Amino acid sequence: MLRDAGIDHVIAPPPIDDAALPERLGDPAGFTMAMALFKAAQIQPVGEDGWVLAADTMAHDGKALIGKPRDRVHARQMLTQWRGGAHDVWTGVALVQPSTGRRWIFADRARVTLGNLADHALDAYLDSDAWKGKAGAYNYVDRLDAGWPLACDGDPCTVMGLPMRRLTPILLRLAAPRGSPC
């Protein structure tokens, strides 16, 4: 997504495995922002004035935050829960410049509706293991491309893990030369 927006970057995954975290109660915006900030703190920027961008995405079923499925059974439970209804997907973002302490932290929400997905389509997807490592047990674009009855109210990029509608203007502003009037 960053490359598509014309933003140069280096990928450096944080040395933590957030898939093992239990489902959480509470504020989805606050939790995802805190996780993004925690991830950002694990990474050293490239260059003296470099910025670190980290994000965390979780689904929310109205009661609890839902992260990545533990196993196939858990993935089935998640997708069955989403089928025929809507759920929120939250992505928290932390953009930090360690050398100055400057930072932007925000969360964005998109509401995803999954229509009546046929059992055979669900089973084929679960057999593919494509659900592994995916918050809410699915990748939005992959499932749209596969013909799943999905709709998104909000930024689809939020569902994919990086809310580009909000993030791009911030990144472009940071990339502007010093002294620029914008």
- pLDDT, one tens digit per residue, over 12-28 is 666 666 655 555 556 88
Cα 37 to Cα 94: distance, rounded to the nearest angstrom: 5
What's the CATH code, domain 18-168? 3.90.950.10
Active-site annotation, residues: 56
Question: What is the value of pTM for the model shown?
Answer: 0.83
Pure H helices in 21-163: 28-41, 72-82, 119-128, 140-145, 156-160
List, as one string, the DSSP characters of 107-121: EEEEEEEE----HHH
Domain ranges of the chain: 18-168
Which pair of tokens denotes residue 125? 């997807």
CB 88 within 8 A of CB 28: yes
160 phi and psi, to 5 degrees? -85, -5
Strands ordered across the beta sheet of 52-60: 24-25, 64-66, 52-60, 85-97, 102-114, 150-153
- pLDDT, one tens digit per residue, over 140-178 is 999 999 999 999 999 999 999 999 999 999 888 887 555
